[in-house]
A and B are shown apart, each in its own frame.
Chain A
Amino acid sequence: MIKAYAISLLCCISLIGAEGKEIFSLYPECPKHEMPYRSPSARYIDTYGWESISQGLKNIGTNMIHRTTFDRISHREEIGFIGYHGSTQEFRIFQDLIRVILEEIVDLPIREDFHFLRLPGHPAFFYKNLSEYPKGYDPTFFLCMNYAIYGNHTNPFSSSYYYFAVNGSSQRVIYEKEIQWIFETLEIETDIIPALFALGRSLIGHENGVIYQIFDMSHYDPRQPYYALADTQCISWGYSTLFSKVVEGVHPTPFPNQIRMLMNNHATLNPYSSLIIKRFDKYPAETISSYMQQLREAIRSLNFSVEKATAYRSHLLQLWENDEL
């Protein structure tokens, strides 16, 4: 009994003294960030109810067939989550070609959880933040998102779910034409572009589109508040308050409007930024891996100007490493 008491006392002392061993002698003061937060999708579902969401989706010509996948995706919403964007497989091929060109030709590895939403380094994307952007809306400069995975379930023109379900997009962009700039920059023959897109189309299906789940993890730097990047790059259409305020758990829940994120080379087209962009689809891992491998082999076989690739690399690094927003 005495022994047990002594052991427990020792445990007690060790636990009471459990302040932790510090490992950095130089560690900045980090303010404790607090923010009321609850998954926007959960709040949306609570507000509208499954019946209304299901009926709404039926009315716009789709159904709840993707619910299992979408439930799993929305389960991943955590503080830092910004919103969803649904788009086409054509957009995906455009993005993957950019990634592979950067990795194989420009020698810039791109992290797995980042995807280019526009052409990186393109001179058009020079507005560093929303305050620099002139008034008005031009879809070239913005990515539209829903707060909740079933957001705008009654409006096919603003619903990520709908665009995923029908492999559609609100933008009628011809990506084969759009990507030409990067080919010209690197002096790659542009005649090959249709064949590259055709290769991509032949390897992945087009029954459904893709859905992006976008996060701003600025707070990974413990000195930064939540949504530090989003507050300078995202506007919540219909609200004049900062994005971080709109997304707070205490705000009324229905999220009727869109989030619009400014596309620019310094922040949102920058893989060194705090943005995390997850892309989901319904294809098996083997299909995607084989598609990426073949795309990579096709890009590796292209002729390009080494001088131009070096210049483009320096240009991108200069843009990405300058984090003054």
Chain B
Amino acid sequence: MNYKFILCVFCLFSSYLMAEESPTERYVSQHTMTDIKYNLRLENVTLDHKPIFDKAISQETAGFVGYYAASGKFRVYQDLIRLIFEEILDCPIREDFHFLAVPLYPQRTIKTLEEISQAFFYQKAHPQKVIEQFIPMHLSLYGNHNQIGFCPAKDFSLAAEPTHLADLYWFFETLEIDPALIEEAMEIGQNYFGVDHRILVQLFDPSYELMDQNSYPASPNGFPYVNQAVSDYLLKSTLGFPPQIYLLLHENGLLNPASTLAIKRYAKIQPTKLKNYEQELRILIKAASYNHLEKDLYKEQLMQAWEIS
């Protein structure tokens, strides 16, 4: 009886901790802010962006799964995909969804978690070639502050180059849109936000089901770290943090706006500037010429992939 009572008290305490601390808060409690600051300084990272970080951390509520961060190029990249969907493919995209990559990109061949395990363990694929298909994420904003691996706070602060942009060029070429518009769009972004613009992407999946089917705990070079679902780390604080997470990008998962994925984006931008930038980018895409047949073909393939009749 005594044993059960102690166990119950422990469980109540654990559930209290889980309810009270979000992943980043838990990470900070574990490492302390002093240690985080001290270590990030080596990479030329100061916490100048802490107000943005604190705002994002306060939003780590139910369904929160993790962060990705990059330079402002990633914002323009995401916005261009959305605008092509809205203005050319006539597919409105909900406001809290942003594409993490271009759907149907043929170089992205890995479609299931099983194929990841096959690639690494049975086909001896080179890690670098496999991870080119994914994007990294960490459950905590300050994750890997003191060790090798993807650290969202660092990549945000240093405005790191986005992991991939090649698929955007493929998208433009497929629809026969002048790829020079990509450079033009990047310049528009730079004109509004400056060269050192950056973006913090916060991902949510209310049921964790989508995330468990499309992400895996990984070592920094992509090898599966453990055969365990990402949600386990979010629900059981005792597990700590995996080195990082890799997100599998395919049309039936995270690249489907009808999925449960929701994304919040953070950056230091004045709302009026943001509105003007969005308008200018929309005008650019609206005026772009494209091949109608290719557009129809792409849309048809996409609808099939999304299983929308």
Contacts and interface: CB of A to CB of B under 8 A. Distances in A.
A320 B121 CA distance: 18
A4 B212 CA distance: 31
A28 B226 CA distance: 11
Given A23-B227, A72-B39, A75-B38, 10 more contacts: A8-B9, A11-B12, A15-B236, A20-B229, A25-B114, A75-B146, A76-B39, A76-B148, A217-B219, A321-B126
21 contacts: A5-B8, A11-B8, A12-B8, A12-B11, A20-B229, A20-B232, A21-B228, A21-B232, A23-B212, A26-B114, A69-B42, A72-B39, A75-B38, A75-B42, A75-B146, A76-B42, A76-B147, A220-B221, A285-B44, A285-B158, A323-B124
A27 B121 contact: yes
Interface in A1-30: 4-5, 7-9, 11-12, 15, 18, 20-28
Nearest to B147: A78
A104 to B, nearest CB: 14
Given A24-B117, A78-B148, A111-B128, A11 B15 contact: yes
A61 to B, nearest CB: 26
B118 interface: yes
B262 interface: no
Contacts of A12: 7-8, 11
B128 A24 contact: no
A21 B212 contact: yes
B47 to A, nearest CB: 15
A20 B217 CA distance: 12
* Max chain A Cβ within 10 angstroms of own Cβ: one of B42, B120, B219: B42
Contacts of B168: none
B139 to A, nearest CB: 15
B273 interface: no
Nearest to A219: B219
A284 interface: yes
Given A18-B236, A321-B126, A9 B8 contact: yes
Across the A-B interface, the 10 shortest Cβ-Cβ residue pairs: A220-B219, A21-B229, A8-B8, A11-B11, A285-B44, A24-B117, A72-B42, A27-B227, A20-B228, A12-B11
A24 to B, nearest CB: 4
A206 to B, nearest CB: 20
B220 interface: yes
Contacts of B225: 222
* Max chain A Cβ within 10 angstroms of own Cβ: one of B121, B216, B225, B239: B121
Contacts of B147: 76, 78
A271 interface: yes
A318 B221 CA distance: 20
Interface extent on A, as a size class? 35 or more
Contacts of A9: 8, 11
A9 B9 CA distance: 10
B43 to A, nearest CB: 8
Contacts of B158: 285
B59 interface: no
B14 interface: yes
Contacts of A274: 221
B41 A72 contact: yes
B229 A113 contact: no
Interface string B109-153: 000011011101110101110000000000000000011100000
B231 A284 contact: no
A28 B121 contact: yes
Contacts of A26: 114, 117-118, 121-122
A199 interface: no
Interface string B211-252: 010001001110111111101100010110000000000000
B37 to A, nearest CB: 11
B227 A22 contact: yes
